[in-house]
Structure 1
Amino acid sequence: MKQLLLTLFLAFDAYLGTRFLLNVIGILQTSKYSKGATLFYAIAFLTLAAAGAYYMFVKQNFKITLLLAIGPWILIVLFLFINMIFGDYK
């Protein structure tokens, strides 16, 4: 059961990372954020989803997989918070 939930969570992370990457490339035009922030989100989601898949399927370590699946969400909240504080809104 936990492996199925982690797989769904990692698949959703990879889906979001792919959408952010397509926004950076210019194929999609759905992002509300700057190019730099969108690129950061794409890298965070894709790399942590790939690392989570490695730890789940190769190493069979579900605790680290859960941390890697939740990691992009924590990074994005911190990044958005820092952007809100130091961003220049004109």
Structure 2
Amino acid sequence: MRIKIVTLLALSTAALWFTGCDQGRAQMGSRESNLLGIAKIEKDNYGPTTANTFAVHTDELYKRKNFSGDRVTLLWGLVTLKDY
């Protein structure tokens, strides 16, 4: 009976040890979301936009100091909202 309890305790401890938290080092999802091309959200994207889009910068709309670098593309690339 003791062997069963020790084995169960050892397996439980090993399961908790190997499935532990990684302190936030793993990336749980992609940096891009796409809703059928109608709305596309890209996080931390400081790349240039193409010439065939209406690019709107958030600093043109209102004054801000902490930019996130996100880019939202609407209507299959017709309008691009850039936060940088």
Q: TM-score, normalization: structure 2?
A: 0.25
Structure number having the greater strand percentage:
2
Q: TM-score, normalization: structure 1?
A: 0.24
Q: Which has the larger radius of gyration?
A: 2
Structure number having the greater helix percentage:
1
